[in-house]
Amino acid sequence: MKKTLFLILTLFAFFSHADEIPISKSASPGVVNIRLTGTGLSQFSIRHLDLPRGYLGNPMKIKNIQWQSAHYSTEGITETVKICYYPYGYGVKKPEHCKTISPNASGDTEEFQSMRFGYESRVTIRHELEGGRLTAYPTGTDKITIHYQK
């Protein structure tokens, strides 16, 4: 009986901590050829392999997203950066939720808290650039860490 109780408590403790597993990803927003405006984009798709076993069919919710943004150091451009969350993936008629963030900075947001989260969800960091006819190069990479719960 004591062994069974110990096993049950151990499994409960394990699965309680499993609910708090974060997913971290990084990507470079890429070179942008600006013709008045241009966009550099880092896309972070959630795949089956990103989620712990047994989570695929279970409803989950976003807790928060930590982020670190790159920036474009090209002279003569204006840069606006947004972090966007797509609960059902990216595409036509799929909801998009965005928040403006600072270039070359880090932080976290609860803007997307309690929104649906699953294997087809996607996060992007979008660098919107304005300026003359220039080629802009990113300095660094964009990074995210998604914290979610069952």
- pTM exceeding the 0.95 threshold for the entire prediction: no
Q: What are phi and psi of 105, to 5 degrees?
A: -145, 175
pLDDT (tens digit per residue) in 91-122: 777 889 999 999 999 999 999 999 999 888 99
CATH 2.60.120 describes domain 23-149: yes
DSSP 52: P
Which are the contacts of 17, defined by CB distance < 8 A and separation ≥ 6?
none
Question: CA 44, 47, 88 angle in degrees (round to 5)?
Answer: 70
The two structure tokens encoding residue 95? 């909801």
Confidence of residue 11 (pLDDT cuts 50, 70, 90): very low
Q: Can you read off the two tokens belonging to residue 135?
A: 């080629």
CB 150 within 8 A of CB 54: no
Q: Kindly report, residue by residue over 62-90, the tens digit of the pLDDT.
A: 999 999 999 998 888 999 999 999 999 88
